[in-house]
Structure 1
Amino acid sequence: MSEVFLSLGSNTSRYRHMTIALDTLSQHFGPLMLSRVYESESVGFQGTLFLNMAVGFSTDIPLADLAAQLRDIELSNGRLPNAPKFSPRTLDIDILSYGELTGCHSGIELPRDEVLYNAFVLLPLTEIAPDHCHPIDGRSYRDLWAAYSSDQKLWRVPFQWQGSNISEG
């Protein structure tokens, strides 16, 4: 079994798409580790605010098959397959890490470089895996967050899923 960490984001019908993503991930992969939900400004383009969170789970599904499943979830939620990289998203699911894999596997660069550069990725990941170490940098996500220095702004927002309050504003 490999421990997998994902980043989820949406800036189009945000609450609906994030809820559908969590429902679908839970159905496919069982119990999920969930960060709180954060709101942040768009990065790389002018757009509406994003909701972001991190999700973790264990799986024995090969990386390429997992990536295909996640892409299917995105597409079934209205993500346009050929949309520009920096554009609004109904649902964005990125694999941050897959076990201890590093380098390019099945066309996926691991760990995802955004972990080190974007607050909306690193802070939620720190919440669910504070003592896990970045497979290349070697520091724990807690230590990476403590050393993080960027002016990216994000703030917690209320979010309920399956009758539980997983995030408060």
Structure 2
Amino acid sequence: MATVYISLGSNVDREIHTRSGLDALHRYFNPLTLSRLFESEAIGFDGSPFYNMVIKGHTKLALEQVLVLLKGIESANGRRPGDKKFAPRTLDLDLLLYDALVTRAPVVLPREEILYNAFVLWPLSELAPTFIHPQTGDSLASLWQQFDKQSQTLTPIDFTWKPKYDPD
């Protein structure tokens, strides 16, 4: 069973798509452990603020199957293949870590955004502070401690989520 960490972001109907994304992830990666929900400014384009969080889950799916599943959940929430990278998002799900796997294909793992986006590193370090980043050799807590927190503003948001149902 692999442990996966998935970032979730939305800046279009944020609460609706955040809840919908969590419900879908709950079906496949149960039990889930959630970071706090944060609000952050759009990075790389002018747009509405995002909701961001990181989810820890467990799966028997292979890496490639996880990637296909995440794209399917995004698509079910109105995301179109080929959407611009720096643009508004109904739902953005990115696989950050699949155990301690280091790979370049079919996806870059660990995801590079871990090291330079506060909206990824802060919630990830909440969930796995002692996890050692397989490329830097630093714990996630240490990476967050060293991060330039003036470069990106994040605000914790009061948020409660309960799954709509429990999968079998």
Query: What range is the shorter-chain TM-score in?
Result: over 0.9
Once residues 145 and 39 of structure 1 are traced to their aligned partners in structure 2, the CA distance between those partners, rounded to angstroms, is 17
Q: Superposition pairs for residues 135-150 of structure 1, below 5 Å?
A: 135-150=134-149
Q: CA deviation at 1:103?
A: 2.1
Q: Report the counterpart of residue 36 of structure 2 in structure 1.
A: 36
Q: Which structure 2 residues correspond to residues 42-61 of structure 1 after superposition, within 5 A?
A: 42-61=42-61
Counting only pairs closer than 5 Å after superposition, residues 1-169 of structure 1 correspond to structure 2 as 1-105=1-105, 107-150=106-149, 151-162=151-162
How far apart are the structure 1 equivalents of 2:82 and 2:16?
22
Q: SS state of the match for residue 124, structure 2?
A: helix
Tell me the distance in 1 between the aligned counterparts of 2:9 and 2:152.
Answer: 16
Q: Indicate if the aligned counterparts of 2:28 and 2:59 stay in contact, CA closer than 8 A.
A: no
CA RMSD, aligned part only? 1.0
Which whole-Å CA distance do the structure 2 matches of 1:136 and 1:2 have between them? 19
Q: Given the two structures, how large is their TM-score scaled by the length of structure 2?
A: 0.94
Cα deviation digits, residues 84-126 of structure 1 (max 9, x gap): 1100000000000111111213x20000000000000000001
Higher-strand-fraction structure: 1
2: CA distance, partners of 1:137 / 1:58: 24
Letter matched to residue 128 of structure 2 = A
CA distance in 2, matches of 1:58, 1:27: 11
Structure 1 residues without counterparts, runs of 5 or longer: 164-169
CA distance in 1, matches of 2:109, 2:158: 31
User: What amino acid sits opposite 1:133 in the alignment?
Assistant: I
Q: For the residues of structure 1 that align with 2:137 and 2:53, how far apart are their CA atoms?
A: 23
Q: Give the Cα–Cα distance (whole angstroms) in 2 for the partners of residues 67 and 19 of structure 1.
A: 20
Residues matched between the structures, number = 162
Q: Which runs of 4+ in 1 moved over 6 A?
A: none
CA distance in 1 between partners of 2:80 and 2:69 (Å):
16
In the TM superposition, residue 27 of structure 1 has moved relative to its aligned partner by: 1.3
Mapped partners of 1:28, 1:100: distance in 2? 20
SS in 2 for 1:161: coil
Q: Percent identity?
A: 45
Q: Tell me which amino acid in the other structure corresponds to 1:158.
A: D
